[in-house]
Amino acid sequence: LSNIHLSSEYAATAALPAAFSDRLPHFLVEPEDKYIVKNKPVTLTCRSTPATQIYFKCNGEWVHQDDHYIEHSVDPATGLPVMWVTIDITRQQVEKIFGLDEYWCQCVAWSTTGTQKSQKAYIRIAYLRKNFEEEPQSKEVALDQEVSLRCHPPEGVPPAEVEWQRNEDLVDPTSDPNFVITPDHNLVIKAARLADTGNYTCVAKNIVARRKSNSATVLVFVDGGWSEWSKWSACGADCSMWRSRECTQPSPGTGGKDCQGLDLQSLNCTSEQCPQTVRGAEDVALYVGMVAVALCLTLLLIVVVLVYRRKKEGLDADVADSSILTTGFQPMGIKPSKPENSHLLTIQPDLTTTTTSYQGTLRSRHDATAKFSMTNGPLLDPLPNGSHTLHNGKLNPDPAEFVSRFSTQSYFKTLPRDVANTSYGTFNFLGGRLTIPNTGISLLIPPEAIPRGKIYEIYLTVQRKEDLRLPLAGCQTLLSPVVSCGPPGVVLSRPVILSMDHCFDACLDNWAVRLKKQNYEGTWEDVLLMGEELVSEPFYCQLEAETCRLFSEQLGTFAVVGESLHMGAAKRLRLVLFSDAYCSTLEYNIRVYCMDDTQDVFKEVMQMERQLGGRLIDEPHVLLFKDSYHNLRLSIHDMPQAHWRSKLLAGYQEIPFYHIWNGSQRYLHCTFTLERLSLSTCELTCQLCVWQVEGEGQSFSLDFNIAKDTRAVDSEFLVMDSNATALAGPSAFQIPYLIRQKICSSLDAPCPNGADWRMLAQRLKLERHMSFFASKASPTSGILDLWEAQHFHSGNINQLAAVMADIGKQEAMIFLVSDGDC
C-alpha cells in the first residue's frame, strides 16, 4: 500500500487537534450481508473516524484501489476526519469461488495510531427453485374436524417465506384464529367449518421470486343426523301402528353421508287395540300350504343349477386340456395371407451370407407375452428358449466351456462365472444382438460396427453388485445394473448400443447423473454427465422413462450413478410380497422386498424365492423414494383378531434410509411373522402398508387362502423372454440390410425442404440428439440403430414405413412386404 496517496481534501485537515494523534479508528458504518439478485451488483459501504485510509479485503485479498469510491469529510462536533468508502461486488466475482467457500468482504481502517478491522459481510447469490419439495394434498373432512395441509417450500437463498391463500385470498391467522401456520410452514384448520371449503395454495417467496404450489381442495362435508322419533300412531285397520323421524339434524351437505337406519318404524298392535277380529283356522292352513309349495320350488331350482354348473365345469376342463396340448405348435408350409391394400415389393435374398440355424421353439421371436409354463408332466415341459441364428459365425453350445476357455485371457478376467446371466455370440460386419432374458439388458451391434474381414466373439453379462466395489460418496446412489460387454479393446467402426434399465425419476433437474466405466486397472472413472454429452466423446446417452441407451465406441463395464441435487430427487422402488407356498405350522411368514425398480433385480429375487419354495401373493407396486433422509416403514393391519395375530412386538418395521438409497444391497426385505390360532384357519385378510416417513406410501390389500393357492413364484408375474439370447446378421434386425442401405443413401444427403434424416429424427421424437447424429458419417444409420434398439420387441415396421411416407420418400413402400414374399 506504499503507493496509496491521500486526497487533497484530507491534506487540508491534517493539522488537527492533538486528540487525533492517539486515537484508533472506529467504525460508524460497517459492511452488511448482501444478496445478489440475478445479475445486479451489490454495494458495500464502510465509514470510519478518525481514519487516514480505508480499504476493503475480500476473501483474504486486497481489493484494487481503483475499485474503491472514497469520500472525505470532517465531523463538525469533534473536528475529526471521517472517511466514507464503497465498493461494488458482481455476480461473476462470487461465482469464481462458488462451492469452495462463502464470499466475504471486510474493510480495514488506518490512523496514525494503528488499524481496525470491521465485521465480515457475506455476499450470496440469491435464488429460489421452482419445485416445491412437498405440496399440499386435497382432503375431504367432516365438520369440526382438524385439518392439516403440509407445505415444504422450494430450496432458496435466502430461505423462502411462506404464506397461504384460500381461493386466491390471503389466509391471515391474526384475523381468524381458527387458522394456524406452524413453524414448519404447515397450515392447520383447528375445526373445519363449511365456509372453510375451498382451494388452498402454498405461496413461497424471497427477494428473487414468488412461487405457488398446486392448489389443494378442502371439502368440508356434513353427515346427516337423526331427529327424535315421533310418537306412535293409533292402531290402524291392519293391526299395526307406526312412528317416523327425519334426516334433518343436521341435513347432509357437501357430499356428506345420508342418515343410516330406518326413518319409519312399525309395530303390531295388541289384540285389544286391533279393530279387526282374528280370522279362522282355515286362513292359517292356507298360509302354511303356500309356504310349503314355495320351499319345494326353491329346492328344485337349487338342484338344477348345481347339476348344470358341474356339467359346464367338466366341459371347460376338457376344452382347456385340449388347448394346452396344441399350445406352441403351428402348422408348417402354410403361406400367410397378404394384407389388404398393401403395395408389395419383393426383396431378393442375400445369397452371399451363410446361415447356421439351431433348433428351437416355433414361437415368433418378437412374441414377448409368453409366460413360464407351470406343468408337472414331461408332455407339457416348456419348449427350448428360442432359435439362435448366426451368419458367417457360430455359437458355442456350452456356456460353461465358453467361460472357461476365455477365463485365462487378460481381458476376460472380470467376467463372472454366472453363465445364467451371460450371453455371447460370434459376429462379423453384418452385426447382431445379445440379450440377457428378463433383465432389460441388451447389446445391439449395428451393421458395419465390426470392420469387414473381422470376426469377434462378444459377450454380455450383468455383474452382481456384491462382487464389485463401486465407490459411492455423499448423496450418490447406484441407478442401474452393472453391465459388462467385451472383450475390451476391440476395434469398432461405429458405436454399439447398450440398453439397460434405470430406477430414478428421469428428471435431470433433480439429479446429476453420470456414466461410470471401469478401466483396465479396475478403477471407476466418470466418462459422461447426462444432459451435457459432447458429440466428440466416445459415449452418448439416450435417457428414457425407464431405460438408458448408451452409444459406445468402446466395450467395457458400465454403471449409471446419480447424485441428488435436492430433496425432490426420487428413486423408483419395486415392492414385492412373497410367502411360503406350503404352510403346515401355526406360523406363517410374509416377506416384503424393497428393491430397485429394474428387471434384473426382480429376476434375481424371483429365482431366489423359487429356490426357497416361495410364492408371490400380490402384484408388485412401485414407490417413489425421495432423498429426504427419512427411513422406510412397513406395518400390517386389519387382521381378523379371532383367527390371526402378529408376532411383531413394535407397531412397524423400519429399513434405514441409507441402506435403500445406496442401491448396493439387492435383497433388502422385512419379514412379518403371523400366527394363526388354529391349523384349520386358512383364510387370511389384512392390509400391509409401506411408506417413507413424511413421504409417499403404498398399501397391499391381501385376501387369499394359504392352503389352496400354491402357485409358484413365476406362474403369472415373471414373463418369459422367448427371444434368442444371441442373434447374428439380418435375423437380429427388423429392417432388412439392403433396405436399410437404400434408406440411408436416400436420407443422408441434405435436402433443401428438410425431407432428409433431420425430419426422420423429428418424426421419431429424437430431435434432442440432432448434433450427435450430424457428427456421424451416416446420420440416418444412427437414427435407425436407435430405433432398432428401442423397438426390437414391439416395433411395427409398417409404422416406420408410414413415417417415411410422411417425409415423402418412396422408399417407404419397400417396407410393406409380407412374410410370405420374403
Residue 814 has pLDDT above 60, yes or no: no
Here the CATH number for the domain that contains residue 635 is 2.60.40.2660
pLDDT in tens, 230-242: 888 888 776 878 7
- Phi then psi for residue 145, to 5 deg, are -80, 150
pLDDT at 413: 46
Of 38-42, 103-107, 560-564, the one with minimum mean pLDDT is 38-42
Specify whether 432 is located in the same domain as 530: yes
Query: 411-449 as b/e, with b when 16 or more CB fall inside 10 Å?
Result: ebebbeeebebbbbbbbbbbbbbbbbbbbbbbbbbbbbb
Number of domains comprising the chain: 5
CA distances to 77, 402, 550, 565 from 457, in Å: 94, 10, 21, 41
pLDDT band at 466 (very low <50, low <70, confident <90, very high): low
pLDDT at 9: 37
Query: 690-723 as b/e, with b when 16 or more CB fall inside 10 Å?
Result: bbbeebeeeebebeeebeeeeebbbeebbebbbb
Q: Which residue in this structure is represented by grid cell 460418496?
A: 473
Specify whether 51 is located in the same domain as 122: yes
Q: Which of 9, 200, 30, 12 is nearest to 105 (CA)?
A: 30
Considering only residues 238 and 500, tell me which one the structure prediction assigns the higher pLDDT: 500
CB-based contact 455:499 (threshold 8 Å): no
pLDDT in tens, 529-576: 998 888 888 999 999 999 999 999 999 999 999 998 888 899 999 999
Task: Report, as an integer, the average pLDDT of 747-775.
Answer: 88
Q: Which residues, in sequence order, are CB contacts of 18 under 8 Å at separation 6+?
A: none
Rounded Cα distance between 593 and 690, Å, is 11
Quick check: is 289 in a domain? Answer: no
pLDDT band at 255 (very low <50, low <70, confident <90, very high): low
Residue 820 has pLDDT above 60, yes or no: no
Rounded Cα distance between 745 and 416, Å, is 42
Extract the C-alpha cell encoding 756: 432428409
pLDDT in tens, 114-169: 889 999 999 998 989 888 989 999 888 888 889 999 999 999 989 999 999 999 89
Residue 385 has pLDDT above 50, yes or no: no
Long-range contacts of 699-707 (CB under 8 A, 24+ apart): 700/575, 700/577, 700/618, 700/621, 702/577, 702/617, 702/618, 704/617, 706/579, 706/583, 706/588, 706/682, 707/583, 707/682
Quick check: is 499 in a domain? Answer: yes
pLDDT at 297: 86
Q: Could you tell me where the beta strands, DSSP code E, fall in 186-269? A: 187-189, 198-205, 210-212, 216-221, 240-244, 264-268
Q: Is 554 helix (H, G, I), strand (E, B) or coil?
A: coil
Mean pLDDT, the chain, whole residue set = 78
Residue that finishes a domain, picked among 166, 197, 221: 221
Task: Report, as an integer, the average pLDDT of 320-349.
Answer: 32
Rounded Cα distance between 578 and 606, Å, is 9
Task: Report, as an integer, the average pLDDT of 487-505.
Answer: 93
Rounded Cα distance between 118 and 105, Å, is 9
Specify whether 615 is located in the same domain as 558: no
Radius of gyration of the chain (CA): 39
Q: Which residues, in sequence order, are CB contacts of 234 under 8 Å at separation 6+?
A: 241
CB-based contact 592:575 (threshold 8 Å): yes
Here the CATH number for the domain that contains residue 779 is 1.10.533.10
pLDDT in tens, 298-318: 888 888 888 777 665 554 433
Domain that holds residue 73: 26-127
Rounded Cα distance between 552 and 538, Å, is 6
Task: Report, as an integer, the average pLDDT of 447-472.
Answer: 85
pLDDT at 582: 80
Quick check: is 320 in a domain? Answer: no
Q: Would you give the end-to-end CA distance of the chain in angstroms? A: 88
Rounded Cα distance between 346 and 334, Å, is 19
Quick check: is 265 in a domain? Answer: no
Considering only residues 156 and 95, tell me which one the structure prediction assigns the higher pLDDT: 156
CB-based contact 159:167 (threshold 8 Å): no
pLDDT at 221: 85
Residue 758 has pLDDT above 50, yes or no: yes
CB-based contact 248:222 (threshold 8 Å): no
Quick check: is 74 in a domain? Answer: yes
Residue 285 has pLDDT above 50, yes or no: yes
Specify whether 138 is located in the same domain as 189: yes
Specify whether 608 is located in the same domain as 706: yes
Residue that finishes a domain, picked among 544, 564, 584: 564
Strands 121-125 and 34-36, sheet pairing: parallel
Specify whether 80 is located in the same domain as 142: no
Q: Which residues, in sequence order, are CB contacts of 191 under 8 Å at separation 6+?
A: 144, 145, 146, 178
Quick check: is 484 in a domain? Answer: yes
Considering only residues 329 and 14, tell me which one the structure prediction assigns the higher pLDDT: 14
Specify whether 586 is located in the same domain as 700: yes
CB-based contact 214:135 (threshold 8 Å): yes
Here the CATH number for the domain that contains residue 169 is 2.60.40.10
The HSE-up count of residue 663 (CA atoms within 13 Å, CB side) is 31
Give strand pairing partners of 476: 563
Residue that finishes a domain, picked among 190, 221, 252: 221
Q: Which of 403, 443, 450, 396 is nearest to 427 (CA)?
A: 450
Specify whether 605 is located in the same domain as 744: no
Determine what percent of the chain is predicted with pLDDT higher than 70: 76
Residue 790 has pLDDT above 50, yes or no: yes
Burial class (CB in 10 A: 0-12, 13-18, 19+), 725: buried
pLDDT at 98: 59
Considering only residues 275 and 515, tell me which one the structure prediction assigns the higher pLDDT: 515
Of 282-296, 342-356, 525-539, the one with minimum mean pLDDT is 342-356
Q: Is 323 helix (H, G, I), strand (E, B) or coil?
A: helix
CB-based contact 222:173 (threshold 8 Å): no
pLDDT band at 508 (very low <50, low <70, confident <90, very high): confident
pTM above 0.75, yes or no: no
Task: Report, as an integer, the average pLDDT of 97-109.
Answer: 81
Specify whether 574 is located in the same domain as 698: yes
Quick check: is 246 in a domain? Answer: no
Task: Report, as an integer, the average pLDDT of 316-338.
Answer: 33
pLDDT in tens, 674-712: 999 998 888 899 999 999 987 788 888 888 888 875 555
Task: Report CA 562 to chain centroid distance, whole Å.
Answer: 13
What one-letter code names the amino acid at 372? Answer: F
pLDDT in tens, 712-752: 555 445 554 556 789 999 889 988 888 888 899 989 988 88
Quick check: is 59 in a domain? Answer: yes
Q: Which residues, in sequence order, are CB contacts of 133 under 8 Å at separation 6+?
A: 152, 153, 154, 155, 566, 567, 568, 628
Strands 81-89 and 42-49, sheet pairing: antiparallel
Specify whether 122 is located in the same domain as 138: no
Q: Which residue in this structure is represented by grid cell 343436521?
A: 250
pLDDT in tens, 353-380: 333 333 332 233 333 333 333 333 322 2
Specify whether 527 is located in the same domain as 635: no
CB-based contact 412:406 (threshold 8 Å): yes
Burial class (CB in 10 A: 0-12, 13-18, 19+), 342: middle
pLDDT in tens, 79-93: 888 899 999 999 888
pLDDT at 303: 83
Specify whether 712 is located in the same domain as 645: yes
